[in-house]
Amino acid sequence: MKKFKVIIVDDERSAREEIRRALLPYPDYEVIGEARNADEAEALIHAHRPDLLFLDIRMPERSGFDLLAALPDVPEVIFTTAFDQYAVQAFDNNALDYLMKPIRVERFAQAMEKHGKKMQENNTTGKQLFIKDGEQCYFIKLKDIYLVESADNYARLHFNDKKALIRASLHQLEEKLDPDIFFRINRTQLINTQYITHIQPTTGGRFTIHLYNMTLEISSRQSVKFRQWNKP
Amino acid sequence: MGKRTSLTLYWKCQLIGWTIAAFYWEVDAFIRSAHFNFTFAVINFIADIIVNIIITHLYHTYALRKGWHQLSLQALLWRLIPAVVILSVVFTATVMLRFYLFNHYILHSFSGSFPAYVVNAGWVSFIAGIRIMFIWVLAWHMYHYAQREIKAARENAQLQLIAREAQLNNLSAQLNPHFFFNSLNNIKALVIENPDLARRAIDLLSDLLRTSLLHKQGQLIPLRDELGLVKDYLELEQLRFEERLTISLLADEKLMNISVPPLCLQTLVENAIKHGISKKKEGGLITINISEEDNLLKMTVQNPGNLNNIQTSPGLGIRNLKERLQLQFRGSASFHIIQHDGIVLSTLLIPGV
């Protein structure tokens, strides 16, 4: 059987050692790497695409949150923290779990059980992003995002009836998002084409589209591209 | 703000007080004097107000500049007596001059020379001057004394409040929850890896916990005790950070009995770890120096790091330390923090050597 790949991220050696020890009774999990900071972790994640990340929040230079926000595809995460539970509790329930150090055996078992379940049901869900908007953090599945709007130096993500503002240009996000699904309809809007309910041609060869109970205009330049894009 | 309101109060008292006094003198003159002159009464009334405000205001300015309002009673007394005499002499001179000129040149009721008039009537005027100036100076100093007492009472209340706050912060600052739980997690790992070290760590953590639970507010402790606490703390942090934390400690043994506010050095060292070592991937060196400089106890803590993010809003620990120093030593202790080439240096100067 294929084992789940685990990466442990913590700046204290003894803390990483503790997680390793806690994982001993779980033969389906294999620790493929340890990182002492966000930079090391980022390289490891790119190289190994882990199934589970144990992540400390307070680390030198870049925090655990900073690390996640930089990843184009975020693995399942169990946060480990000494006292930042408030920061983690602010998450919507998309976060897998958080553990308080020192970690109790039964609490660790609960988190592992959650991960096991998620792995079973989640075989086809695809990539997810991590977004920190002020105090609020979100794990967002790419498929749940239906619209991205630019607002000065920020981008507003619309997903599951929620909105989040992140510091990124539309262009940067366009590169992170799957070009087969996401389409730039004009200078300020990027849409998930899977949410289109109706396409309506208007004057000058342009289109109006209905998307998730909104009506949006495609610019004339992008309408040309949209026609080509829509054909095959 | 406070200065502005007291100034208006001062001018209000000056105007109202001298108006009442001048009015009283004219009424008194009207009742007693057989040949009361209305024109002269009006001139006298206005002149009394203006002249007296000017001379007392000169005293006010002079006394404030010389800091007489902050003197103790004894130091004040031997300055007050000549001051009142001088004020009275000026008062008498202006009154006499006015009376003589008016009576001599306008009413032609005085025929003698001015010195003769002074010798004749000066004494009465001088006694009146002494009386009124004494009352004025007394009132002025009583007002400032009251202000000083109120301020002292307020400061005392504040000191108590801060001491109580410090005691609370103490628990959460010294037993910084991050430090506490990370240490426990560290000990948990040590139990397997190195049981002897684990036992040592439990002893250290127990002592730190006990100190913060038993710590009495507002008291000074010997530097020896403070340094002991810092050493325990650093030993524990070294177990956590391992090769990322190096410590250099240089302390002059003969300074160890000096009394210092509890947690003064600990606050600096903790900041050095929190904002310095733990923010650096490779960690670094913390240098602690305890020496004597210009009869002051000088404690410095050096760590790698950047000030930018801390200085804009100094942490609770530093703010608290500054307040305690100010109230405890009234400006004779000082704390400052600078940054140069990626090194942060905090310096604490405390009297008592």
Q: Residue A105 phi/psi, 5° resolution? A: -60, -45
Lowest mean pLDDT segment, chosen from A121-130, B99-108, B188-197, B204-213: A121-130
Give the pLDDT mean for B331-348.
91
Nearest CA in chain B to A19: B189
- By CA distance, what is B279's nearest residue in A? A60
Summarize the confidence of residues A199-216 as an average pLDDT: 87
Mean pLDDT, residues A61-70 taken together: 90
* Number of separate helices (H) and strands (E) present in chain B: 10, 7
Quote the CA–CA distance of B153 and B160 in Å, as a whole number: 11
pLDDT-derived band at B345 (thresholds 50, 70, 90) equals very high
Contact list in B for residue A56 (CB cut-off 8 A) is none
Q: Could you tell me whether strands A128-133 and A136-141 are parallel, antiparallel, or unpaired per DSSP bridges?
A: antiparallel
In angstroms, the separation between the Cα of residue B198 and the nearest Cα of chain A is 12
Least confident of A107-111, B36-40, B242-246: B36-40
**What is the number of residues in chain B?**
353
User: Quick check: B322 pLDDT over 70?
Assistant: yes
Least confident of A13-17, B26-30, B130-134, B269-273: B26-30
- Quote the distance between the C-alpha of residue B22 and its chain's center: 40
Say yes or no for a CB contact (<8 Å) between A18 and B189: yes
The residues with which B287 forms a beta bridge, in sequence order, are: B248, B302
Question: What pLDDT is attached to residue B148?
Answer: 87
Q: Residue B269's Cα: distance from chain center in Å?
A: 27
- Determine the Cα–Cα distance for residues A211 and A194; give it in Å rounded to an integer: 9
Count Cβ atoms below 10 Å from residue B248 Cβ, excluding itself: 10
- Please answer yes or no on whether B280 and A61 come within 8 Å at the CB atom: yes
For residue B316, give how far its alpha carbon lies from the nearest alpha carbon of chain A (Å): 18
Mean pLDDT score of chain B, rounded to an integer?
Answer: 86
Interchain proximity B281–A37, CB inside 8 Å: yes
Contact B184 A102 (CB under 8 A): yes
pLDDT of residue A232: 54
Residues of A in contact with B240 (CB under 8 A): 12, 14
The answer, yes or no, to whether residue B2 has pLDDT greater than 50, is no
Whole-angstrom distance, CA of residue B36 vs CA of residue B196: 105
This model's pTM is above 0.95: no
Q: Is the peptide bond before A102 cis (omega within 30 degrees of 0)?
A: yes
Q: Indicate if the alpha-carbon torsion angle A177, A178, A179, A185 is positive or negative.
A: negative
Q: Cβ of A56: how many Cβ atoms within 10 Å?
A: 28
What whole-number distance in Å separates Cα of residue A2 and Cα of residue B201?
Answer: 41
pLDDT for A125 beyond 80 = no
CB contact under 8 A, A12 and B241: yes
Instruction: Write out pLDDT tens, residues A66-116.
Output: 999 889 889 999 999 998 776 676 666 567 888 999 999 999 999 999 999
Query: Mean pLDDT highest for which of A35-44, A182-191, B161-170?
Result: A35-44
Alpha-carbon distances of A166 from A135, A170, A172, A178, rounded to whole Å: 12, 10, 11, 18
CA dist A167 and B292 (Å) reads 51
Give B309-353 as a DSSP string.
HHHTS--HHHHHHHHHHHHHHTTSSEEEEEEETTEEEEEEEEE--
* Residues in chain A closer than 8 A to B205 (CB atoms): none
d(CA A137, CA A91) in angstroms, rounded, equals 5
Residue in B188, B240, B281 closest to A102 by CB: B188
Residue B15: CB atoms within 10 A of its CB come to 12
Residues near B146 by Cβ (< 8 Å), separated by ≥ 6? none
Q: What is the ipTM of this complex?
A: 0.81
CB contact under 8 A, A82 and B188: no
Residue A72, classified by CB atoms within 10 Å of its CB into exposed (0-12), middle (13-18) or buried (19+), is exposed
From A189's Cα to the closest Cα of chain B, the distance in A is 36
DSSP-based helix, strand, coil % in chain B, nearest 5: 70, 15, 15
A76-81 and A128-133: which strand pairing? Answer: unpaired
Q: Would you state the structure tokens that stand for residue B1, as one six-digit string?
A: 């703000």
Q: Which of B281, B282, B303, B306 would best serve as a mutation to test chain A binding (most A beta carbons within 10 A)? A: B281
Taking the CA atoms of A38, A39, A42 and A48 in sequence, report the sign of the dihedral they define: negative
Task: Tell me the pLDDT tens digit for each residue of B131-156.
Answer: 999 999 999 999 888 988 898 888 88
At residue B1 the predicted structure's pLDDT band, cuts being 50, 70 and 90, is very low
3-class DSSP state for residue B4?
helix
Chain A residues lying within 8 Å of B181, measured CB to CB: 82-83, 100-102
CA distances (Å), origin B151, targets B60, B67, B70, B114: 20, 16, 12, 50
Q: Which among A12, A60, A102 has CB closest to B240?
A: A12
pLDDT at residue B329 in the model: 84
Task: Establish if A185 touches chain B: CB-CB under 8 angstroms.
Answer: no
